[in-house]
Amino acid sequence: MNDRSQLGDHDSEIAIIVRDTNTVNSYMDGRPWRAAKFAASLRREIFRKHLGLVPPQDPERPDANYEPIGTPNWYDWASEADNRVADPLSDEFQHYWNSRAKTNTDAFGKVFQPVPYDGVRSWKQYNEYYSRFFAEQGDKENKKPSKYKWGHVVAENFSQGDQGVREVKEVLSNIKGTLVEMPLLFLKDEDIAKEGMGLNAFTEELYT
């Protein structure tokens, strides 16, 4: 709790303590580990959601997770997906986590060309990758006309007609879950705060 959260219009946090004496067999950095059942299932479920490993719910076959509060949730311990996230410190898991983030990021980049993006490390690359397709923010009189709306497919990256639609679907089918890479290298080769260069509307919003 802090001033920002108590004001009611900035941060919003909640702090709870869960005491769980039930434990399950798990692993930590390749070694056997006894983990609290509640914490382990919560952490694994969240990891699986980010990785796209949560099975879809079937409204025709409701399980315990459909029930209101009071009914314990069901979790598929020892399933293939559960085993994937059981050990958060293993090399295998780290590789899987990082590769999934890269695959998702590259797919979004190919189809939508969003920014920030690690492939854009200078203003020249920014203009080539993004601003020639999408309208610039800032001075309306000098703004370039937009070829595409934000969030729309950059059609120039794909074939024409039905073949292009199939190509887009194929790229998007590689996306699983919600995990993406943090673009730590975006505009890496530029000093956006150097003398003579004012922060434009994009960088001001991003970095301040």
Classified as helix, coil or strand, 32 is strand
pLDDT value of position 140: 59
For residues 39-69, b (16+ Cβ closer than 10 Å) or e, as one string?
A: ebbebbbebbebbebeeeeeeeeeeeeeeee
pLDDT value of position 9: 72
DSSP string, 134-158: SPPSS-STTPPPPSS-TTS--GGGS
* Domains in the chain: boundaries: 1-85, 97-207
User: Which residue stretches of the chain have pLDDT < 50?
Assistant: 139, 195-196
